[in-house]
Amino acid sequence: MKWDAEIDCLGMLCPLPVLRARKRLIGMAAGDVLRVLASDKMAAIDLPHFCVEAGHKFLGTSDVEGGSAYLIQRGM
């Protein structure tokens, strides 16, 4: 899948991946996709939960070297 922006949060602990994703999503247009790279295992719980709370769409996860990649589509 294609994404419009990416942030690298590898090596960062909770809650930094969510905080950085929130900050980056604010500057994106509705429908744009953000790819978040994170190695903290809590990101697998925190990022989908953040999406539900903030009105974004969680598109899924995939493994990358050193962690996981999470795709989030910005809501309205």
Q: Which active-site residues does the annotation give?
A: 14
Q: What is the dihedral of CA 56, 50, 44, 19, to 10 degrees?
A: 110
Sign of CA dihedral 66, 44, 47, 25: positive
Rounded Cα distance between 12 and 21, Å, is 12
The span from the first CA to the last CA of the chain, in angstroms, equals 21
